[in-house]
Amino acid sequence: MTRRRPGASRVSGQVRIVGAGLLGASIGLALREHGVDVILADTSRANLRLAVDYGAGRLAQAGDEPGLVIVAVPPDLVAEVVAAELAAHPTALVTDVASVKGGILAELIATGAEVGRYLGSHPMAGRERGGAVAARADLFLGRPWVITPHDATTSEQFHALEDLALDLGATPIRMSPAEHDEGVALVSHVPQLVSSLLAARLRTASNAEVGLAGQGLRDTTRIAGSNPELWVQILGANAGPVARVLHDYRDDLDALIAALDQPAASGSPRRIAETLAAGNAGVARIPGKHGRDDRFTTIVVKVDDRPGQLARLLTEIGEEGVNMEDLRLEHSPGAQVGFAEIAVLPEAAHRLAEALEARGWTLAEGER
């Protein structure tokens, strides 16, 4: 691979992507928008043809010489495929996009693979649906892309993956494989399990109980619909870090249960309050628009359940010259209205609230 020329894509030369699913096809689509020659490979001919038809790349040809190989296969196959690609393309840098890094590197070293040309990475992006049909060129925009150098990694190799992430609109982040695995255990893998455990409680709930569900339950169980087979592989590969977080979580849960078993006992109200306050402090640290950010003010607007109403609201916010920092929607089954939570800068909140009311919108109490 060569470095970026002024005005050109950072990534140049041929890029081979092994695995034509959501991540692989999305990377291909994004690179193709930059004019990069993308070669696709997949053990499934149907998946491969579909990704090619969607424009994510082309089929391999005799004489191809990729400078970068990206392995985007299921977690339990990554090390095997990476080793095969290192052997098949002796001048290429090989990376993967799996969500666990330490075990892959250890397996490659144990099998004698040429790890001097392997550098793991992990884009923190995805969708509820998989496959090339769900692929999007903008999947990585604004998302972290972790690059995990090891002892044999060169600065040129690191910069090559950094260029890849930047071309795809992602934010490159440098972490060791161990740091990465500890981090994703906390922010990705344990949340998946907690969401699944909470959603599992709904199996024996009555229809009347489930009918009471609001946005809080939807928010906390959204990821519980994820693919079990895939997550068995991910959690098995990162079992140690995940278990450590869960042990701490269990201790916190045990202490909270003890307080709720005797809510009037001395110290119980304080324990409950401290648990909630700790949650406030934690959520405030989540970066980006989906964490609580005291820099923004939220306006709640009632939106009738009719076609075009949300589009009208967003258009009129733009017409008022206000930048919307975040949007959340809440809609309960059977209701003919929903509520749009609009986050804006504090200095624009009062002006926007008045303008929306003048345009006929109804704001929730306390939002004026």
For the chain, which domains are there? 14-175 (3.40.50.720), 182-283 (1.10.3660.10), 297-363 (3.30.70.260)
Task: Give the pLDDT of residue 28.
Answer: 96
Under the banding of pLDDT at 50, 70 and 90, the label for residue 343 is confident
Under the banding of pLDDT at 50, 70 and 90, the label for residue 355 is very high
The answer to whether residue 73 scores a pLDDT higher than 90 is yes
**In percent, how much of the chain has pLDDT > 90?**
73
Task: Give the pLDDT of residue 131.
Answer: 86
42-69: average pLDDT: 95
Least confident interval from 21-35, 63-77, 117-131: 117-131
**What pTM does this model have?**
0.78
Q: How many C-beta atoms surround the C-beta of residue 43 within 10 A?
A: 12
111-131: average pLDDT: 90
The answer to whether residue 215 scores a pLDDT higher than 50 is yes
Q: Amino acid identity of 331?
A: H
Task: Give the pLDDT of residue 29.
Answer: 95
338-345: average pLDDT: 87
Please tell me which residue, 7 or 281, carries the higher pLDDT value. 281
313 contacts 340 by C-beta, under 8 angstroms:
yes
DSSP characters over 47-70:
HHHHHHHTTS-EE--TT---SEEE
How confident is the prediction for the chain on average, in pLDDT?
Answer: 90
Under the banding of pLDDT at 50, 70 and 90, the label for residue 290 is very low
169 contacts 140 by C-beta, under 8 angstroms:
yes
Under the banding of pLDDT at 50, 70 and 90, the label for residue 353 is very high
For the stretch 235-244, pLDDT in tens is 999 999 999 9
Under the banding of pLDDT at 50, 70 and 90, the label for residue 367 is very low
For the stretch 92-111, pLDDT in tens is 999 999 999 999 999 999 99
Burial call 229-241: b when 16+ CB within 10 Å, e when fewer: eebebbbebbeeb
Task: Give the pLDDT of residue 210.
Answer: 92
303 contacts 338 by C-beta, under 8 angstroms:
yes
